[in-house]
A = this chain, B = another copy of it.
Amino acid sequence: MAELAGILRTELVRYSPDEKLPSSRALVERFRVSPVTVSRALAALAAEGLVVTRPGAGAFRARPRAGGARPGDTSWQQVALSAEAGEDAVPRSVDASGVLATLSEPPAGVLELNGGYLHPALQPERALAAALARAGRRPGAWGRPPVEGVGELRAWFAREIGGPAGTVTPSDVLITAGGQSALTAALRALAPPGAPVLVESPTYPGMLAAARASGLRPVPVPADAHGVRTDLLAPAFRASGARLLVLQPLFQNPSGAVLAEERRAEVLRAAREAGAFVVEDDFARRLAHEDAPPLPPALAADDPDGIVVHVCSLTKFTSPSLRVGALAARGPALDRLRAIHVVDNFFVPRPLQEAALELVGSPAWSRHRRTVAAELRARREALLSALRRELPQLTVEYVPPGGFHVWVRLPDGTDDTALAAAAFREGVAVAPGRPYYAAEPEAPHLRLSFASVAGTAELAEGVARLRRAVGQIAPAG
């Protein structure tokens, strides 16, 4: 540790004040030491006043204190931030770590099998640039859009969600700043702080974080290869008193499962009996693989009574920066959603909405769809065959017909967090299964993404590195 601190102390002179140091991950990589050694070395330098560390942001070269300037003391904030309104108050628990893990780029040399977006080479970059240029030339492109969104774009989303029957109308749709914003608005609008919300188990950690940040209490309902276990749904509504269920019926994250035909009606029936809303997070409809069976319609497409609140987004299929999504709902819920959306954000910037319209109306749109479908299938197969070859002791219970991930079961007793850390040291970023569970996991898992590396060669190499990590981790007991 002292040796590492010494090296870093020497290197620090090359950094300007407030410049960010390499991430802990990068230091682990470069010096082939454990994360604990890195954090101790950084703590030593921080104690010397040479670096400043910010949890979640990294370490920075400290500013030299000017002669007269009084050094700041923010320690009073700990008291202020832990103050609660009363004994029964709901703490504002915000844990962004699960989200940050997939949003931050791994250091150079580490293969990204933990990504939530298409690799840049798979993004329609040229079509996006052209769409933005055309959007900028549209008259009034910088003007104030209606708070609900540009009419033409609402109409496009309504057709996409409702299908040819036209069961979703443009006035049912709100344009949002991507799917995460839409989810946050839905969770905030549909349940008061302190309320329970039923979630699939396992499920997307970003949704769990958003629910908890809104003061909601996620209650897990087990899911299998056919989607959420509907036999457990009615009892879960009764036991929890929840009036809200969040699910991803299509290519669920992390499992890739599709909600089975017979369960679709059961979900709606259980919600209707409980007087509850169903938030349908339809994030992956455009991520069907080439060999996927025909897709079921959105739950929202056959929902006259406004049970379903539909969430979708263009981001996953295009670029993380095309933060344009939609909410669709009916009745007073729509009014509530609009109010939350307006108070939180006003509206989505018009140039982005216009760029989205240009993109979905261009010939590149359906071409991109075919490319993505073929590429995702090829990558999924490459990953699965590498896993079968190199790591036969891991179980892939389900071959996902869409989405970006396979969900891999580890031998009982494996510490998934330790394995992910070991894999990182070997040069491959993977997601441990733990954060996907609202309560205790039923078994250890990893989530492996095949969408965010450059190609199939990287998938094979990533699995080889994962195999080396598995060799270092012995299952407990």
Contact = CB atoms under 8 A, between A and B. Distances in A.
Count of this chain's copies in the oligomeric assembly: 2
B351 A132 contact: yes
B105 A144 contact: yes
Interface in A149-195: 169-171, 177-178, 180-181, 184, 188-195
Interface of A: 17-18, 20, 52, 54-57, 60, 63, 69-81, 83-86, 88-92, 94-96, 99-100, 103-105, 117, 120, 123, 125, 128-129, 132-133, 135-137, 140-148, 169-171, 177-178, 180-181, 184, 188-195, 206, 209-210, 213, 215, 243, 272, 275-277, 303-306, 319-323, 330-336, 338-340, 342-352, 355
B192 A84 contact: yes
A306 B305 CA distance: 49
B77 A332 contact: yes
Given A99-B342, A103-B346, 4 more contacts: A57-B148, A89-B192, A94-B189, A184-B343
Contact of A331 (B74, B213, B305): B74
Interface centre among A94, A215, A335, A343, by most chain B C-beta atoms within 10 angstroms, is A343
17 contacts: A63-B169, A84-B195, A91-B192, A92-B188, A92-B192, A103-B144, A103-B346, A132-B132, A132-B136, A133-B133, A143-B319, A143-B321, A144-B320, A180-B343, A181-B344, A206-B343, A210-B343
A99 B180 contact: no
Nearest to A196: B85
A305 B141 CA distance: 42
Nearest to A172: B18
A72 B141 contact: no
Contact of A215 (B55, B103, B193): B193
A357 to B, nearest CB: 14
B60 A94 contact: no
Contacts of A344: 180-181, 184, 210, 213, 344
A127 to B, nearest CB: 10
Contact of A322 (B103, B142, B169, B348): B142
Contacts of A243: 80, 83
A338 B96 contact: yes
A209 B343 contact: yes
Contact of A99 (B132, B346, B350): B346
Contact of A352 (B54, B99, B351): B351
Contacts of A184: 343-345
A335 to B, nearest CB: 6
B206 A86 contact: no
Contacts of A206: 343
Given A63-B169, A346-B99, A54 B334 contact: yes
Nearest to A331: B74
Interface centre among A79, A103, A195, A332, by most chain B C-beta atoms within 10 angstroms, is A332
